[in-house]
Structure 1
Amino acid sequence: MTKENKKKIFQNNTPLDVSDVSPEEKKVLAEFLSAKGFTTSTFYLRFFQKGFDAWEIQGIDNCKSQFLAIPDVGKLLLEYVECDALGNEIGDKGYLYTLAKSDKPGVFYTCLKKAGSGLCMKLFSFMEERGMSRTTIIKRFSADDWKPWEQAGIKNLLEEYDSKVKSKNRE
């Protein structure tokens, strides 16, 4: 993949022209991405018609890390302590932050809801800025249901693709 094509892809919602990529490279790239959850229709829609939203370029794992790195988000999660019905602390301070960083399905969004303090609203704003609708945010983060390409991000996958192509060409 040429640097020019990658630069174009990494701009929000900027598709390639069908003539930007040779038929052979389209085939090889589509095969590579099919293992990452891309269907043929998704491949053509994203690369040659619609382009990618910022969250798709960055990947959900990266978006989660960026969100947790926001100072007031991290602070709220680090300071959260769970209490029982009598107000007694039951748990360690900061455990929610550590838990939110785990890769266990559904844990990230559950931690934000548990901490309260408007963290879900902050996530909505954060992800809306990256092109995801609120309905999709709630549905997808609640289920933590991501295709491998959405999890990793197209930028990382194209770097992986280029590395594989280069190593194959050396053989």
Structure 2
Amino acid sequence: MTKEKLRKILKEETSLDITSIPIDEKKSLQSFFMDQGFTLSTFYLRFFQKGFSEWEIIGVENCKRQFLALPDVAKCLLDYVETDVLGSTLGDKGYLYTLAQCDKPGVFYSCLKKAQGGLCVKFADFMSAKGMSSGTTIKRFTEENWKTWENIGIQALLEKYIDSEHD
């Protein structure tokens, strides 16, 4: 795959012309991405019709990292201290920020809910700017049932694919 084609795929919502890739390369690319959780229809739709949203290009894990790196988000999570009904402290300050970086399903979004401070709304807006609707953000980040390609991102997978072609 040429660098020009790679750049085109990695441009938000830009697809390739179906005739721009030889059949054998399409089959190889399709096989690689099906191993990453693509269906045949998703492969065709994303590569040759619709293209990818920014969140799909960079991946869910990078979206989480970028969001947690925002100063006001980090401050809210770092300042959070859980208390019981009597007001006694139940954990260490900063614990929620560390926990939000955990890769266990559902933990990230539950940390945003717990911290309050409007972080769930802020995250929905953040993801909306990357091409994911608010409703989808709530549902998908609550469930955290990502396909490999969604989690890692198209950019990293294309780099892996290109590296495997040269081995």
Using the size of structure 1 for normalisation, the TM-score is 0.96
The answer to whether the aligner puts 1:164 opposite 2:164 as a matched pair is yes
Partner of 1:133 in structure 2?
A: 133
Partner of 2:154 in structure 1?
A: 154
Q: Deviations over 1:11-40 (max 9, x none)?
A: 111010011211100000110111100011
Question: Counterpart amino acid of 2:121?
Answer: M
**Partner Cα separation in structure 1 for residue 111 and residue 38 of structure 2:** 29
Partner of 2:28 in structure 1?
A: 28
Using the size of structure 2 for normalisation, the TM-score is 0.99
Q: Alpha carbon RMSD of aligned pairs, Å?
A: 0.5
The answer to whether the aligner puts 1:9 opposite 2:14 as a matched pair is no
**Partner Cα separation in structure 2 for residue 4 and residue 112 of structure 1:** 39
**Structure 1 residue 73: deviation in Å?**
0.3
Aligned length: 167
Q: Deviations over 1:31-63 (max 9, x none)?
A: 011110001110000000000000000000000
> 5+ unaligned residues in a row in structure 1: which ranges?
none
Moved over 3 A (4+): none
Partner of 1:37 in structure 2?
A: 37
Q: Which moves more between the two structures, 3-12 or 104-113? A: 3-12
Q: Which moves more between the two structures, 43-52 or 5-14? A: 5-14
The answer to whether the aligner puts 1:71 opposite 2:66 as a matched pair is no
Question: Counterpart amino acid of 1:165?
Answer: E
**Partner Cα separation in structure 2 for residue 12 and residue 106 of structure 1:** 27
The answer to whether the aligner puts 1:90 opposite 2:90 as a matched pair is yes
Question: Counterpart amino acid of 1:6?
Answer: L
Q: Deviations over 1:114-138 (max 9, x none)?
A: 0000000110110000000111001
Question: Counterpart amino acid of 1:91?
Answer: G
**Partner Cα separation in structure 2 for residue 20 and residue 87 of structure 1:** 64
Question: Counterpart amino acid of 1:62?
Answer: N
Question: Counterpart amino acid of 2:65?
Answer: S
Q: Deviations over 1:83-106 (max 9, x none)?
A: 000111110110100000010110
Partner of 1:103 in structure 2?
A: 103
Identity fraction in percent = 59
**Structure 1 residue 81: deviation in Å?**
0.3
> 5+ unaligned residues in a row in structure 2: which ranges?
none
The answer to whether the aligner puts 1:47 opposite 2:50 as a matched pair is no
**Partner Cα separation in structure 2 for residue 21 and residue 119 of structure 1:** 43
